[in-house]
Amino acid sequence: MMMAGLRERKKEQTRQRIAETALRLFAEHGYDAVTVNEIAEAAGVAKVTLFAYFPSKESLVLDQIKDDYAAVVRNRPEGMPPLGALREHFRGIARRGVEAPVETLLTRVQVIASSPALLSGVSQTNMSEREELAAALEAAMPDAGVVPRLMAAQITAVITTLQETFFQRLVKGESLEKAVRLLEDEVELAFDLLERGLSWQEGTDS
């Protein structure tokens, strides 16, 4: 068990080193100008090793922003509704804050924003997450018609807006502590709106 744990930590360290090296090179030279061979060489690994951790050049950046909403729904505690499970998931993320340094987060945002290929990849990732979430909701809500797909569209749009707002604050120079505190409040507001509807916020009868 100890050896297995050591192997897993070593693998995670290698993965992190590759990702950090790629992000640094992309920031310095531009995403399109850097090759996978150059990243592997700079990270001190073989190209085949790099692809064992990251299946594509885009994944070197985009794997860091993925979240498996569908798994949250599928693995929710018995008796907990899907939306409640998602609220708890994002409440936990907001409470923990971010593990990477702010500079790393901002660099990733800037690299993505400067690359049409990565922006397209973000859109594809968001679409994939929405479709997977819709499928998980359909499994949890059989015979609900179009409702799971509508829910998935609303949930993913709300989460994307929360993420964009958080990063915009950091870009504008807001402290990480304040940005995280605001994110905690906005996660609650967002899921209140999802659960109760816009008419609740407007103060009218639903």
- Domains of the chain from N-terminus onward: 2-60 (1.10.10.60), 66-196 (1.10.357)
Asked if residue 204 has pLDDT above 60, the reply is no
Sign of CA dihedral 5, 55, 90, 144: negative
Q: Which residue has the tokens 């509704």?
A: 81
pLDDT at 206 over 60: no
Residues 99, 100, 103, 109, CA torsion sign: negative
Residue 155's nearest CA partner among 84, 98, 104 is 84
| pLDDT at residue 2 greater than cutoff 70 | no
How is residue 77 annotated by DSSP? P
Q: Indicate the pLDDT class of residue 4, thresholds 50, 70 and 90.
A: low
Q: What would the mean pLDDT of 57-73 be, rounded to a whole number?
A: 91
CA 155/CA 109 separation, integer angstroms:
22
pLDDT > 90? residue 119: yes
Residue of 155, 169, 28 whose CA lies nearest to 105: 169
Report the chain's mean pLDDT, rounded to a whole number: 90
What span, in angstroms and rounded, lies between the C-alpha atoms of 140 and 93?
A: 23
Model confidence at 136: pLDDT above 70: yes
Phi-psi map region of 141: left, alpha, beta (phi>0 left; psi -120 to 50 alpha): beta
pLDDT class for 9, splitting at 50, 70, 90? confident
pLDDT band of residue 95 (cuts 50, 70, 90) is: confident
pLDDT given at position 100: 66
Cβ-count burial 107-134 (b if 16+ within 10 Å, e if not): bbbebbeebeebeebbeebbeebbebbb
Amino acid at 64: Q
